């Protein structure tokens, strides 16, 4: 890259970078001006998640470079209005990573659209048909996408979808990748066969497309869980629940979202079904809101020291790439996780009794409990969703890590989840679960890298004494009659979408009705989004 004048970044002497459009585990996308043709383009700065890869494994770094070039050249042969156009490749040779110059799509992403609320089934079907056409064109050129998700579907100003990030998704499976034993990607939309270690064929992309459409019309992800491994276990083992808001899209979703790839219809059949769904009149418009999709119902945590189990969920974050174990290791870990969560292949605890239901969850959320430890000694627990409980957890995180900067904090009555920045790092975090009465729960710990724009914060300025007042107001104003889940989230500032630092209270019930309320660190309410009934 050429530097040129101060504050100017020019790639290949031609493409002047102006602003950051987004990024993930495999690079950053910039809005740039083509100084030769006087037009705006999107420039993808391709780089591995491990910036030191070239130093300790130059062969793997070169393999990444070659794979990027090969996939980009293959995609450049795909001429389709629903596939992003690649204009140019900037390759600096061995020891460098390529830059991809692509058309600039101005209408935002599907993820941005869904942040405003779910789509009507016919609207989603029309969008799905466009994405399917893009996949068909790519498959004919020998390119599989492997990462179809809302963030990778861009929208033209007239609403037509454009599928992007083809080659990068393919690279994720064949590089870091193989050398470092990791797969970079979003497990929420992976087909079961890919989770289990198989490369998958075109039908794997169809699963991802159908799951994206499910999320688009239903307003939540049915298999998303509190951790990467729990999500992968759900994809492998759990059936997708029947949609309730999908209307004319229901037949498509029901046929494609099955674990056996051989049982899924082919792309031609899916296309015909989407065409029918797109022309059907709608009985009603789905509810539209201005807030992000509510987190899905979580799996149960395994019993710890005889404690009554509660449900854990990590609220959905901005599309964050997640590093997970390699295919073989992931399957082994998932098997261990499933054995711990579902001993003897069912959802009962070690005594054979059913895990706590909604009534038990509600009781634990509102009152402290006393549980027996492994030695039968009494263990005192406290409600973590209180000022003292929050302070106790924060101190525990600081003592354990030596760090006082947080990328996320999710407070539930029985436990607290936090992403704590690695000391000395500006981008890496370790994720911990602190459980009332028993301390840290290592089963669900994780690691990751901050998504684009997120800024970690210190929590010294937060007035936790306002939490009881916020909870009382939430019970009154969020219109959730019988909440079975209540929790508090830290809102970290984000330089991309302009989100300010603060906190939010969420309430939801067993029927999917949920609402939230946002406040400043000092407790001033700034936004109330009640349940939609």
Reported as half-sphere exposure (CB side, CA atoms, 13 A), residue 230 has a value of: 23
Of 70 and 377, the structure prediction assigns the larger pLDDT to 70
* Inter-residue long-range contacts of 111-115, CB under 8 Å, 24+ positions, other chains counted: 111/149, 111/150, 111/151, 111/153, 111/319, 112/155, 113/150, 113/155, 114/150, 114/215, 114/216, 114/293, 115/291, 115/292, 115/293
Task: Specify the 3-state DSSP secondary structure of 50.
Answer: coil
Cβ distance 113 to 119 under 8 Å?
A: yes
| 373 token code pair | 């430890």
| 82 token code pair | 């629903």
The pLDDT value recorded for residue 47 is 73
Angle, CA of 115, 120 and 123, to the nearest 5°:
95
State residue 13 phi and psi, 5-degree precision.
65, 15
Q: CA–CA separation, 157 vs 331, rounded Å?
A: 42
Tell me the pLDDT band of 414, cut-offs 50, 70 and 90.
Answer: confident
Cβ distance 505 to 470 under 8 Å?
A: yes
The pLDDT value recorded for residue 365 is 35
Non-local CB neighbours of 498 within 8 Å, separated by 6+ positions: none
Q: CA–CA separation, 28 vs 328, rounded Å?
A: 29
Side by side, the strands of the sheet bearing 15-24 are: 9-11, 15-24, 27-34, 39-46, 99-103, 86-90
- For residue 389, pLDDT beyond 70: yes
- For residue 245, pLDDT beyond 70: yes
- For residue 154, pLDDT beyond 90: yes
Q: What's the mean pLDDT in 67-82?
A: 80
CA 33 to centroid of chain Cα atoms: 31
Non-local CB neighbours of 136 within 8 Å, separated by 6+ positions: 267, 271
Which residue is catalytic, options 147, 173, 188, 430?
Answer: 147
Tell me the pLDDT band of 470, cut-offs 50, 70 and 90.
Answer: very high
| Model confidence pLDDT, tens digit, residues 314-340 | 344 433 333 333 333 343 333 333 333
Non-local CB neighbours of 19 within 8 Å, separated by 6+ positions: 30, 31
Helices (H) and strands (E) in the chain, counts: 15, 21
CA 22 to centroid of chain Cα atoms: 15
Q: CA–CA separation, 427 vs 449, rounded Å?
A: 5
Query: Rg for the chain (alpha carbons), in Å?
Result: 24
Beta bridge partners of 324: 183
The pLDDT value recorded for residue 320 is 33
Instruction: Out of 43-47, 178-182, 438-442, 487-491, pick the least confident.
Output: 178-182
Among 512, 232, 474, 510, smallest CA distance to 356 is for 510
Scanning the structure block, which residue is given the tokens 């009705």?
A: 513
| 151 token code pair | 């963030």
Mean pLDDT of the chain: 75
Q: CA–CA separation, 388 vs 393, rounded Å?
A: 9
Q: What's the mean pLDDT in 259-286?
A: 83
Q: CA–CA separation, 366 vs 383, rounded Å?
A: 7
Neighbours of 268 (CB within 10 A): 10
- For residue 394, pLDDT beyond 90: yes
The pLDDT value recorded for residue 270 is 95
The pLDDT value recorded for residue 378 is 47
What is the percent of the chain where pLDDT is above 70?
71
Of 98 and 325, the structure prediction assigns the larger pLDDT to 98
Cβ distance 103 to 42 under 8 Å?
A: yes
Tell me the pLDDT band of 346, cut-offs 50, 70 and 90.
Answer: very low
For this structure, is 147 an active site residue? yes
Angle, CA of 435, 436 and 440, to the nearest 5°:
30
């Amino acid at each position: 890259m050429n530097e040129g004048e101060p504050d100017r970044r020019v790639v290949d002497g031609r493409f002047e970078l102006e602003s950051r459009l987004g990024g993930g585990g495999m690079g950053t996308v910039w809005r740039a001006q083509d100084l030769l043709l006087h037009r705006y383009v999107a420039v993808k700065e391709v780089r591995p998640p491990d910036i030191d890869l070239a130093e300790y494994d130059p062969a793997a770094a070169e393999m990444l470079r070659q794979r990027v070039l090969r996939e980009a050249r293959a995609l450049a042969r795909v001429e389709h209005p629903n596939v992003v156009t690649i204009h140019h490749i900037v390759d600096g040779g061995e020891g460098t990573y390529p830059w991809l110059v692509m058309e600039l799509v101005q209408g935002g992403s599907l993820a941005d659209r869904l942040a405003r609320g779910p789509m009507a089934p016919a609207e989603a079907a029309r969008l799905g048909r466009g994405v399917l056409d893009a996949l068909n064109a790519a498959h004919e050129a020998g390119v599989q996408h492997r990462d179809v998700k809302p963030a990778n579907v861009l929208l033209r100003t007239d609403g037509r979808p454009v599928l992007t990030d083809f080659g990068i998704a393919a690279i994720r499976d064949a590089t870091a990748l193989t050398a470092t034993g990791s797969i970079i990607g979003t497990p929420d939309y992976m087909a079961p066969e890919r989770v289990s270690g198989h490369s998958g064929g075109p039908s794997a992309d169809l699963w991802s497309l159908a799951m994206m459409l499910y999320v688009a019309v239903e307003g939540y992800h049915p298999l998303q869980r509190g951790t990467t491994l729990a999500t992968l276990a759900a994809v492998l083992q759990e059936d997708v629940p029947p949609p309730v808001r999908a209307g004319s899209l229901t037949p498509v979703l029901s046929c494609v979202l099955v674990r056996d790839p051989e049982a899924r219809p082919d792309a031609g059949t899916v296309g015909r079904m989407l065409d029918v769904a797109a022309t059907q009149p709608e009985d009603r418009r789905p509810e539209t809101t201005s807030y992000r999709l509510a987190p899905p119902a979580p799996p149960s945590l395994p019993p710890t020291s005889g404690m009554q189990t509660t449900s854990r969920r990590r609220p959905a974050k901005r599309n964050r790439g997640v590093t997970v174990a390699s295919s073989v290791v992931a399957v082994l870990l998932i098997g261990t996780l499933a054995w711990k969560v579902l001993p003897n292949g069912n959802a009962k605890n070690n005594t054979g009794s059913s895990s706590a239901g909604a009534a038990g969850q509600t009781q634990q959320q509102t009152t402290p409990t006393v549980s027996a430890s492994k030695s039968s000694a009494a263990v005192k627990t406290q409600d973590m969703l209180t000022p003292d409980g929050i302070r106790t957890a924060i101190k525990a995180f600081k003592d354990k890590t030596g760090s006082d900067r947080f990328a996320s904090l999710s407070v539930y009555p029985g436990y607290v989840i936090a992403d704590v920045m690695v000391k000395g790092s500006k981008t890496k975090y370790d994720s911990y679960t602190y459980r009332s009465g028993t301390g840290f729960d290592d089963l669900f710990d994780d690691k990751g890298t901050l998504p684009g724009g997120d800024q970690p914060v210190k929590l010294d300025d937060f007035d936790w004494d306002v939490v009881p007042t916020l909870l009382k107001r939430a019970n009154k104003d969020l219109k959730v009659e019988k909440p079975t889940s209540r929790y508090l989230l830290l809102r970290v500032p984000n330089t991309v979408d302009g989100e300010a630092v603060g906190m939010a209270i969420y309430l939801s019930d067993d029927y999917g009705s949920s609402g939230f309320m946002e406040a400043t660190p000092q407790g001033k309410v700034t936004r109330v989004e009640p349940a939609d009934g």
